[in-house]
């Protein structure tokens, strides 16, 4: 892995800048489809599996990690391969444990030109052999310990000089410098050569041709970095760069460093239509900001993970990170890629399941929706459904929640919704409270179930268990990331997201586990999903909603709605794949509560409501006004939806009942 893939010697290889403005329409390959193997990656090589079209997760920034360990930026990071090898190897192991399948050697600047600045021009061989050896040791250790396979990429960065005619370095001299480094990397045990952060295409061409000559049996991958216009720093367009580097003999192409994920995505979209070679996307974790004299990269792991999916959908198969990318970012990206894989597997599983059902003498079919639960029966009959949300306690005493459920049941509420540690807070398990409510109160529950804390095995185990004890209504959610809660350092899992979870539940309803093995019958769940009509990126929300419906969702519960216009627009957008919609209603308790909903939870809140809440001068007045607003929203929405879920803010169950007109 490079010195932060270009960040080390000069603050990010000159700060590698900016976002691309390339807008060519992507023509992505089908995920999982095999692609043509590059000429210098024969199928006999172990690395051939990296070129089959399946996503490959690389690592992040070596320089970022070294800097965080107190290594000054003005040191020769490549020298650490021989001076402080334990630090370098430890960082490699962190990335491997985070899920990297390919790690880059700490040799980004280990060429004769860059090393000469430190008086170490004669150490090219030593630093590269040692760098490849450390990465190889880390890979071998993780294989022995965990049984997982990973590969070593020999990192080759720019020479730090300009080639003639713009500079004084001849192409021949450049090729010799690159060849010297590549020979040493191959000798040290590199599985492939990773040429990165190339600012000029002529230098990238020299590096590719030198690598092909110096290590003819190793795949050669090359990535350029781009400016604000999406062009290489010598002005070459991404499309032209692809054509030239493919002609030079590259095995894979792509973009790294630059200004962050969004810019790199646009470059990938521009490259995809003009090449059949694998594409690589390894952006910075955003642009650095100076905080108390230090350059800090503020892009969150979750944000990087969201772009890992976008890169793959745009046609990239190799993804990773550059400057500012840490093992936490890679871990989140791994979760995102696994979720995509699970979704793809779910689609294949569904097809196989349909085939199995068609050929079986006694096919397993879930009971009709009307027979699965009271809520299922009301949904199937077209009845108007009323639900109230009750949040689990933070301790072991749930007597207040049970009393609230009993109170609402007596008033005629149809079901109790129980969130799964909302906003990533640590609370009594939703499953436990649901079971106690159903057994001790007798009212049906809707279990919110998130993917945040559970891997695929745990998800299946939980769902089989809750079905066996009588919980039949599941709301499938991705879940809030831990950083939002009171334990921000907790580890998130996210093996799948809500879409993948619906597919898992659908398979269980058809009597099949994750591996498509029979489980002896249907779990009989009613499957619901969430939607947010007020989200800023409504196009994305509608697309995901369509995927959820396609996966098997049977009804939907929305986030709190305060703007009827947004609900109407959302319902119109989903007309082609409409399922019963239950609107979320939240009775506000104060102006502060309204401000929290608007600013912290990003719920669309009309100015009129803010004015009404702000006009109240007493706590009692504000509470009454919040009830009035919620009742008006329910009345307006009633003819548009098939039910409402009313929240009970701060455990005020009477407020929910008042909104429903039950008092």
Report d(CA 303, CA 314) in Å as an integer.
17
Report d(CA 377, CA 642) in Å as an integer.
13
- What's residue 346's pLDDT? 47
pLDDT at residue 579 is higher than 60: yes
Q: Looking at the structure, do residues 452 and 571 belong to the same domain, yes or no?
A: yes
Report d(CA 264, CA 307) in Å as an integer.
10
Q: Looking at the structure, do residues 433 and 532 belong to the same domain, yes or no?
A: yes
Give the SS3 label for residue 426.
coil
Q: What's the whole-number mean pLDDT along residues 138-145?
A: 86
- What's residue 284's pLDDT? 87
- Picking from 367, 361, 352, 358, the residue whose alpha carbon sits closest to that of residue 517 is 352
pLDDT at residue 659 is higher than 90: yes
Q: Looking at the structure, do residues 321 and 396 belong to the same domain, yes or no?
A: no
- What's residue 649's pLDDT? 84
Report d(CA 605, CA 273) in Å as an integer.
42
Q: Looking at the structure, do residues 241 and 316 belong to the same domain, yes or no?
A: yes
- What's residue 288's pLDDT? 53
Residue 433 covered by a domain = yes
Q: Looking at the structure, do residues 265 and 139 belong to the same domain, yes or no?
A: yes
> Going by C-beta distance under 8 Å and a sequence separation of 6 or more, which residues neighbour residue 70?
none
Residue 475 covered by a domain = yes
pLDDT at residue 377 is higher than 90: yes
Confidence at 489, pLDDT banded by 50, 70, 90: low
Cα–Cα distances in angstroms (integers) from residue 121 to residues 117, 177, 195, 559, 663, in the given order: 8, 11, 20, 62, 84
Please give the residue that has the higher pLDDT: either 28 or 445: 445
Strands 289-291, 294-296: pairing kind: antiparallel
Q: Looking at the structure, do residues 328 and 387 belong to the same domain, yes or no?
A: no
- What's residue 32's pLDDT? 31
pLDDT at residue 37 is higher than 60: no
- What's residue 31's pLDDT? 32
Confidence at 602, pLDDT banded by 50, 70, 90: confident
145, HSE (Cβ side, Cα atoms, 13 Å): 10
- How many other C-beta atoms can be found within 10 angstroms of the C-beta atom of residue 565? 11
Q: Looking at the structure, do residues 315 and 413 belong to the same domain, yes or no?
A: no
- What's residue 389's pLDDT? 95
pLDDT at residue 3 is higher than 70: no
Percent of the chain beyond pLDDT 70?
85
- What's residue 11's pLDDT? 28
pLDDT at residue 499 is higher than 70: yes
Q: Looking at the structure, do residues 404 and 308 belong to the same domain, yes or no?
A: no
**Rounded to the nearest 10 degrees, how much is the dihedral formed by the CA atoms of 568, 573, 577, 578?**
0
CATH of the domain at 305: 3.20.20.330
Confidence at 343, pLDDT banded by 50, 70, 90: low
- What's residue 297's pLDDT? 53
Write down the mean pLDDT value for the chain. Answer: 85
Handedness of CA 505, 506, 509, 511 (dihedral sign): negative
pLDDT at residue 24 is higher than 80: no
Please give the residue that has the higher pLDDT: either 460 or 424: 460
> Going by C-beta distance under 8 Å and a sequence separation of 6 or more, which residues neighbour residue 11?
73, 295
Please give the residue that has the higher pLDDT: either 603 or 375: 375
- Picking from 64, 94, 139, 56, the residue whose alpha carbon sits closest to that of residue 327 is 94
pLDDT at residue 246 is higher than 50: yes
- Burial zone of 359 (CB within 10 Å; 0-12 exposed, 13-18 middle, 19+ buried): exposed
Residues 311-324 pLDDT 10s:
999 999 999 999 88
Q: Looking at the structure, do residues 173 and 60 belong to the same domain, yes or no?
A: yes
Report d(CA 653, CA 510) in Å as an integer.
37
Residue 594 covered by a domain = no
Q: Looking at the structure, do residues 104 and 204 belong to the same domain, yes or no?
A: yes
Residue 148 covered by a domain = yes
Confidence at 296, pLDDT banded by 50, 70, 90: low
Q: What's the whole-number mean pLDDT along residues 407-411?
A: 95
Report d(CA 94, CA 497) in Å as an integer.
25
- Picking from 94, 497, 529, the residue whose alpha carbon sits closest to that of residue 308 is 497
Confidence at 181, pLDDT banded by 50, 70, 90: very high
Report d(CA 58, CA 322) in Å as an integer.
10
Residue 122 covered by a domain = yes
Q: What's the whole-number mean pLDDT along residues 576-591?
A: 93
Confidence at 516, pLDDT banded by 50, 70, 90: confident
Please give the residue that has the higher pLDDT: either 457 or 643: 643
Strands 220-224, 151-156: pairing kind: unpaired
CATH of the domain at 377: 3.20.20.220
Confidence at 492, pLDDT banded by 50, 70, 90: low
The number of distinct structural domains making up the chain is 2
Report d(CA 114, CA 380) in Å as an integer.
70
DSSP labels for 529-594?
A: EEE-TT-S-HHHHHHHHHHHHHHT--EEEEEE---HHHHHHHHHHTGGG---EEEEE----SHHHH
Give residue 105's domain range: 52-288+300-344
pLDDT at residue 21 is higher than 50: no
pLDDT at residue 607 is higher than 60: yes
Report d(CA 339, CA 333) in Å as an integer.
10
Residue 648 covered by a domain = yes
Q: What's the whole-number mean pLDDT along residues 523-527?
A: 95
> Going by C-beta distance under 8 Å and a sequence separation of 6 or more, which residues neighbour residue 235?
none
Residue 233 covered by a domain = yes
- Picking from 164, 146, 167, 155, the residue whose alpha carbon sits closest to that of residue 207 is 155
Report d(CA 40, CA 615) in Å as an integer.
73
Q: What's the whole-number mean pLDDT along residues 427-447?
A: 94
Give the SS3 label for residue 107.
coil
Report d(CA 199, CA 179) in Å as an integer.
19
- What's residue 317's pLDDT? 94
Q: Looking at the structure, do residues 306 and 407 belong to the same domain, yes or no?
A: no
Please give the residue that has the higher pLDDT: either 88 or 20: 88
Q: What's the whole-number mean pLDDT along residues 444-469?
A: 90
Residue 422 covered by a domain = yes
Report d(CA 441, CA 38) in Å as an integer.
65
Q: What's the whole-number mean pLDDT along residues 609-631?
A: 92
Q: Looking at the structure, do residues 122 and 263 belong to the same domain, yes or no?
A: yes
């Amino acid at each position: 892995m490079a010195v932060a893939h270009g960040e080390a010697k000069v603050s990010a290889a000159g700060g590698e800048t900016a976002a691309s403005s390339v807008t060519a329409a992507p023509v992505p390959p089908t995920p999982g489809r095999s692609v043509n193997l590059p000429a210098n990656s024969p199928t006999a090589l172990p690395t051939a599996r990296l070129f089959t079209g399946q996503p490959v997760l690389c690592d992040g920034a070596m320089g970022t990690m070294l800097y965080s360990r107190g290594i000054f930026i003005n040191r020769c990071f490549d020298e650490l391969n021989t001076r402080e090898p334990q630090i370098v190897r430890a960082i490699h192991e962190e990335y491997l444990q985070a899920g990297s399948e390919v790690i880059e050697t700490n040799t980004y600047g280990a060429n004769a030109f860059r090393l000469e600045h430190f008086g170490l021009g004669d150490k090219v061989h030593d630093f590269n052999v040692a760098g490849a050896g450390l990465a190889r040791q880390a890979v071998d250790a993780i294989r022995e310990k965990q049984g997982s396979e990973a590969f070593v990429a020999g990192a080759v960065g720019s020479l730090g000089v300009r080639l003639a005619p713009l500079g004084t370095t001849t192409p021949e001299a450049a090729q010799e410098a690159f060849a010297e480094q590549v020979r040493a990397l191959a000798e040290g045990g590199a599985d492939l050569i990773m040429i990165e952060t190339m600012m000029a295409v002529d230098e990238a061409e020299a590096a590719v041709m030198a690598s092909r000559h110096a290590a003819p049996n190793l795949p050669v991958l090359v990535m350029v970095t781009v400016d604000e216009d999406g062009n290489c720093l010598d002005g070459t367009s991404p499309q032209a760069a692809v054509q030239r580097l493919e002609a030079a003999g590259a095995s894979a192409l792509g973009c790294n460093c630059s200004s962050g994920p969004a810019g790199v995505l646009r470059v990938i979209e521009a490259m995809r239509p003009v090449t059949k070679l694998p594409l690589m996307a390894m952006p910075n974790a955003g642009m650095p900001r100076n905080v108390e004299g230090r350059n800090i990269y503020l892009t969150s792991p979750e944000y990087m993970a969201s772009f890992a999916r976008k890169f793959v959908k745009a046609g990239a198969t190799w993804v990773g990170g550059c400057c500012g990318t840490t093992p936490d970012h890679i871990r989140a990206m791994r979760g995102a890629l696994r979720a995509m894989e699970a979704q793809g597997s779910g689609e294949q599983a569904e097809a196989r399941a349909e085939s199995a059902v068609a050929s079986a003498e006694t096919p397993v079919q879930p009971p009709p929706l009307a027979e699965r639960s009271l809520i299922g029966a009301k949904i199937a009959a077209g009845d108007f459904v009323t639900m109230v949300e009750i949040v689990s306690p933070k301790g072991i005493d749930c007597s207040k929640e049970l009393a609230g459920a009993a109170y609402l049941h007596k008033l005629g509420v149809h079901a109790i919704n129980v969130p799964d540690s909302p906003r990533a807070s640590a609370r009594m398990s939703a499953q436990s409270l649901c079971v106690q409510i159903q057994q001790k109160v007798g009212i049906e529950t809707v279990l919110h179930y998130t993917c945040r804390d559970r891997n695929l095995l745990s998800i299946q185990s939980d769902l089989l268990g809750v079905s066996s004890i009588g919980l039949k209504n599941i709301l499938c959610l991705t879940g809030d990331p831990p950083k939002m809660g009171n334990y921000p350092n907790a580890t998130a899992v996210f093996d799948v997201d809500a879409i993948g979870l619906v597919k898992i539940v659908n398979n269980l309803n058809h009597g099949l586990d994750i591996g498509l093995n029979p489980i002896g019958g249907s779990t009989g769940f009613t499957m619901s999903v969430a939607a947010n009509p007020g989200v800023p990126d409504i196009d994305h929300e509608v697309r995901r909603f369509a995927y959820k419906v396609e996966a098997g969702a049977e009804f939907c519960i929305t986030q709190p709605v305060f703007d009827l216009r947004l609900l109407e627009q959302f319902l119109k957008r989903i007309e082609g794949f409409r399922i019963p919609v239950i609107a979320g209603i939240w009775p506000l308790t104060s102006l502060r509560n309204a401000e929290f909903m608007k600013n912290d939870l990003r719920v669309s809140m009309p100015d009129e409501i803010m004015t009404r809440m702000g006009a109240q001068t007493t706590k009692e007045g504000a509470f009454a006004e919040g009830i009035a607003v919620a009742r008006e929203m329910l009345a307006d929405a009633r003819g548009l939806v098939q039910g409402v879920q009313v929240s009970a803010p701060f455990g005020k169950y009477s407020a929910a009942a008042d909104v429903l007109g039950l008092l």
